[in-house]
Chain A
Amino acid sequence: MLKTILTLSLILISVAISLALFRVIKGPTIPDRVMALDAIGIYLIAAVAMLSVLLNTHAFFDVMLQLGILSFIGTTAYSRYLERGYLIERDHDR
């Protein structure tokens, strides 16, 4: 029962990822794509969580935490890039 529900949710998550991917591909603007990527990151956290239950292991908890951090950092980096045109400030840019 649990397995069926989890598989079903995984399928739904996969569909969500592919829909987000559609946004990544289609755009039309870069921020749209970045938002979609951020969403994919969050979906992945959920997917990993469900997989952990399905596989009956807690080895992937690290992955979930890391995904959260990285998708935040990634989205921030993109946003900064889109806003200012660079990622890391140099002394003479200030």
Chain B
Amino acid sequence: MSFVHLIIFIPFVAALLIPFFYKYLSRIHTGWFVLPIPAVLFVRLAAEVPLVAQGEIFMHTMPWIPSLDINLAVCLDGLSLLFSLLILGIGTLVVLYSIFYLDKEHEALGNFYLYLLIFMGAMLGLVFSDHLMLLYAFWELTSVSSFLLIAYWYQRKKSRAGALKALFITIFGGLSMLAGFILLSSGMGTYSIREIIGSGKEVTLLPQFFPAMLLILLGAFTKSAQFPFHIWLPDAMEAPTPISAYLHSATMVKAGIYLVARLTPIFGGTMPWFWLVSLVGLVTLFWGSFSAVKQTDLKAMLAFSTVSQLGMIMCLLGLGSAALAEPLNIMSSLYPAAMLTAIFHLVNHSTFKGCLFMVVGIIDHNTGTRDIRKLGGLIRLMPLSFTMMMIGSFSMAGLPPFSGFLSKELFFTSVLHIARLDIFRLETWGVLFPVVAWVASIFTFVYCMILVFQTFLGKYQPQKLEREAYESSWGMLLPPLVLAVLTILFFFYPNVLADYLLLPALAAVLPNMAAADFGIEPILAWHGWTPELMMTIGVVLLGTLLYLTFPKWSRIYHQLPHWLTLNHAHDRFLSLGEKISLTTTKAYMTGFTRDYLAYIFLFMILLLGGGLFGQQNFSFDPTGNSPIEFYEVILVLVMISAALTVALAANRLTSIIALGVMGYVIAIFFVIFRAPDLALTQLVVETVTTALFLLCFYHLPKIKKEVVRLSFKITNLAISLGVGLIVTAMALSAQGHQLFPPISGFFENSYELAGANNMVNALLVDFRGFDTMLEITVFTIAGIGVYTLIKLRMSRRDSD
């Protein structure tokens, strides 16, 4: 048990204790008990930063299911350290925020912190796992705990719908990712990510390389809300705001990013990976920022902006993966730079988006609405919230002096230069990147401005608000304040962050490359009159213009018909699937026993007949058969006519009598084949059965001349003929194929072994008495059953 294992398990153990704190110490807000956990873990992990920055990697393994080669293998390197610090740092702030956001009296706090701690532990486990199956287990645990958290207010219909949608999409991705993991590990013979990376380019030669990549990427894209799987994220905004801030901006949606970054050394450097990751990222970047502008709900706007920013990070990860391609060309330092930008923006996004969500939560909490059409003029009442909202938004828009400016400039650098490279056919399609990225940035700028100015400037409309707006307590303001300050700090000291956290993370994403090889220049706020700067100025100018003329051109958002949206496609897919399965089920589950019997017999004919005649297994060998006597022929003819009478009789009694004849003739056959015990039993049983039939038919109506469709009769006839034919053919075929001599010779010793003259009886009670015992049990059960059926019915009738 290493300290990394402890860090993963402590949240789970704490989650177990939460209900006790909630129940027995209900006078204190449960959040106060939760707060120290992420804080202490954060400090403990932060102590590892200098060691990891020197390139140290902690690997620990604990046995879990050793016989299946599944163990709790954890690994602490630059990438997982960066993610875990984000999880724990923002986790601490979110818990602090939630203490003031959620009311002690009215909310089920025990549930909230229980789910939150499970999520935190799962997320930590996810980033520390070195074992693919362990990674998958924690991955699903984050999906489930996120489902629970989205539906925290389960009384609301929209919460439940959002949670269901998120679960549906992320579990779909998770399962496909599991399939990809299995393909990958079956090809490489190991589950350890580190070992697969260590085997170098061997993995690219696997036949299952491409399917595995596709399936794993599907998992990453669904979790990280990439196009077209982003639709669950805006609906997940029904969760409490601390959850939106934590899960749906800073941590869970970055799980897919983490996965892509973690597996880049395995899949990166190949053309499909490059194009899939970067193009999906680019499309998501554009579509997210385009859709965010039209939102009127602040949280929905932030959700789409999250989608867009995640797309940007994904795109950069795709561009950066080219660093692993061979042969390396002259400008190869560009790719590691793109990768570094991805990691840098990841940190930036977590800070400013967490801050923005918390501020929106404050507005919601203190005014009762999140609708920007009702808000306005809050700057006078909530100056601190305004300041923080401005810092977050401007950082998101990419304005100095906030950290977003740096990552956006670096992003432009990456996409600008990508067009000039000559690998992966970039010379033809590379120009796409800067153009789309620039347009997306303009939209980003527009919605950032809407976010700040429509909320805080303009006219204050108290009549539209549920309560009088007021500034929050310090407890609620402190967490976003910390994040806002960090946003500014990252702008002024980006290289401290880079040296201690980003470069070690980069070393984990691009192994086999020494830090010196990267040739990355330090991040600079000012690097001259470069094209990137021109692009940013263009973004600001055009963005301002678009913001000012927004009412004029916002009509374009209503041009797209409803039935063309992805949400509609999702709903339609689900309802169609439901309808199709309902129709199919109704089509064959008719409720008629006759139909089910027809299915069973048809399959019997198809399977057995196919096996017998399709494979040419039928053969008939009459040697060794005994001669057939003439009287036996007549008796068989009697049986056949009796059987036909049973089937064709117009009267129930005739059928019963004919059935009795059959039974008696069977008894005589037992005599002919020298089985006296069988004959005796058969006669008695036949008589009793006939008597029972008579007893039953006393209560039944006379057979009615049923009007049955001719097709029914014909299919019935065909099926019964088929079954008879198959069974006869099988019996004949089996009869001619005696592979081993019978074992009945042994039972001839029944007198010596069992002291019995009657071999059949010795077999029944001595050699194989166990069967007899169970047959007796069957009779007992049948008897009790009949008794109960009759008795219970009688008693009910009496009580009525």
A24 touches B679 (CB 8 A): no
- Chain B: minimal CB distance from A94 (Å): 17
CB–CB B630/A25 < 8 A:
no
Give complex CA distance A55, B671 in Å: 10
Tell me whether A87 and B657 are in contact (CB under 8 A): no
B667 contacts across to A, CB distance below 8 A? 44, 63, 67
Min Cβ gap B696→A in Å is: 11
State whether B687 touches A74 (Cβ < 8 A). yes
Contact A33 B657 (CB under 8 A): yes
Q: B631's contact among A11, A27, A40, by CB below 8 Å, is which? A: A11
B534 at the interface (CB under 8 A from A): no
> A43-55: contact bitstring with B at CB < 8 Å (1 yes, 0 no)?
0100110010001
Selected contact of A37 from candidates B645, B657, B676, B683, CB within 8 Å: B657
Please indicate the chain A residues that have their CB under 8 angstroms from the CB of B694 in the complex. 77-78, 81, 87
- Choose from B658, B676, B687, B695 the contact partner of A24 (Cβ within 8 Å): B658
The verdict on B175 contacting chain A, using a C-beta distance below 8 Å, is: no
Indicate if the CB atoms of B660 and A37 lie closer than 8 Å: yes
Hey, what's the 0/1 contact readout for B269-283 against A, CB within 8 Å counting as 1? 000000000000000
Q: Is B529 at the interface (CB under 8 A from chain A)?
A: no
Given contacts A7-B629, A18-B634, A30-B653, contact A40 B691 (CB under 8 A): no
- CA A37 – CA B695 in complex, angstroms? 18
Using a CB-CB cutoff of 8 Å, which residues 54-92 of chain A contact chain B?
A: 55, 57, 59-60, 62-63, 66-67, 70, 73-74, 77-78, 81, 85-88
Which of the listed residues B657, B658, B676 has the most CB atoms from chain A within 10 Å of its own CB? B657
In the complex, A77 Cα to B656 Cα: how many Å?
13
Q: B residues within 8 A CB of A44?
A: 664, 667-668
Asked if B16 is at the interface (CB within 8 A of a chain A CB), the reply is no
Cβ–Cβ contact B679 & A40, under 8 A: no
Chain B residue with the shortest CB-CB distance to A19: B638
Q: How large is the interface on A (under 10, 10 to 19, 20 to 34, 35 or more residues)?
A: 35 or more
For A59, the chain B residues whose CB sits under 8 A away are 674, 676
Complex: A60 Cα to B645 Cα, angstroms:
29
Contacting pair A11 B680 (CB below 8 A)? no
Contact A21 B634, beta carbon cutoff 8 Å: no
Bound complex: CA of A71 vs CA of B119, how far in Å?
79
B637 and A63 contact, CB distance less than 8 A? no
Kindly report which residue of chain B lies nearest to residue A37, judged by CB atoms: B657
CA distance A41 to B683 in the complex (A): 10
B426 within 8 A of A: no
Contact between B631 and A13, CB atoms less than 8 A apart:
yes
Given A40-B664, A44-B668 in contact, is the A11-B637 Cβ separation under 8 Å? no
Given contacts A44-B668, A70-B684, whether A17 and B695 have CB atoms under 8 Å apart is no
Contact partners of B664 in chain A: CB under 8 A = 40-41, 44
B680–A62 CB distance below 8 A: yes
> Is there contact, CB below 8 Å, between B658 and A7?
no
* 0/1 interface trace, chain B 623-660, chain A, CB 8 Å (1 if under): 00000011100110110011001000001011001101
Min CB distance, A77 to chain B, in Å?
Answer: 6
B683 pairs with A67, CB closer than 8 A: yes
Which of B665, B668, B690 is in CB contact (< 8 Å) with A48? B668
Q: Tell me the residues in window 1-38 of chain A with beta carbons closer than 8 Å to chain B beta carbons.
A: 7, 10-11, 13-15, 17-18, 21, 24-25, 27, 30, 33-34, 37
Q: Mark B677-705, 1 if CB is under 8 A from A, else 0.
A: 00110011001001100110010000000
**A-side contacts of B653, CB under 8 Å:** 30, 33
Query: B661 and A70: CB pair below 8 A?
Result: no
User: Beyond A60-B676, A60-B679, is A27–B687 a contact (Cβ under 8 Å)?
Assistant: no
Bound CA–CA A23/B531 (angstroms):
110
A57 to B658, CA, bound (A): 30
Q: Which residues of A contact B634 (CB under 8 A)?
A: 11, 14-15, 17-18
- Closest residue of chain B to A49 (Cβ to Cβ) is B671
Residues in B neighbouring A57, C-beta threshold 8 A: 674
B478 at the interface (CB under 8 A from A): no
A33 x B684 contact (CB < 8 A): no
Nearest CB to that of B651 among chain A residues? A30
Q: Is the CB of B630 within 8 A of A37?
A: no
Complex: A47 Cα to B665 Cα, angstroms:
11
Task: List, in ascending order, chain B residues with CB within 8 A of A73's CB.
Answer: 687
Chain B residues, Cβ within 8 Å of A63: 667, 671, 676, 679-680, 683
Cα distance A55–B598 when bound, in Å?
A: 44
B695 to A, closest residue via Cβ: A87
Point out the residues of chain B lying under 8 angstroms from A67, CB to CB.
667, 683
Instruction: With both chains docked as a complex, state the minimum distance between the C-beta of A12 and any C-beta of chain B, in angstroms.
Output: 9
CB distance from A91 to the nearest CB of B (A): 13
| Interface status of B672 (Cβ within 8 A of chain A) | yes
What residue in chain B is nearest A12 (Cβ atoms)?
Answer: B631
Cα–Cα distance between A49 and B638 once the two chains are bound (Å): 20
Q: How far is the CA of A78 from the CA of B693 in the complex (A)?
A: 11
Given the complex, which residues of B lie within 8 Å of A41, measured CB to CB?
Answer: 664
Which residues on A sit within 8 Å (CB–CB) of B684? 66, 70
A sample of 24 inter-chain contacts (CB < 8 A) reads A7-B629, A7-B630, A11-B630, A14-B630, A14-B634, A17-B635, A17-B665, A18-B641, A21-B638, A24-B658, A30-B651, A33-B654, A41-B664, A44-B664, A47-B671, A48-B668, A51-B671, A59-B676, A60-B679, A62-B680, A63-B683, A66-B680, A74-B690, A87-B695
Q: B: which residues have CB within 8 A of A?
A: 629-631, 634-635, 637-638, 641-642, 645, 651, 653-654, 657-658, 660-661, 664-665, 667-668, 671-672, 674, 676, 679-680, 683-684, 687, 690-691, 694-695, 698
Extra contacts, 16 of them, besides A17-B638, A18-B634, A77-B690 (Cβ < 8 A), are: A14-B635, A21-B661, A24-B645, A25-B641, A25-B654, A33-B654, A33-B657, A34-B657, A48-B671, A48-B679, A62-B676, A63-B680, A66-B683, A78-B694, A86-B698, A88-B695
In the A-B complex, list the 3 residue pairs whose CB atoms are closest, starting with the nearest: A14-B634, A10-B631, A59-B676
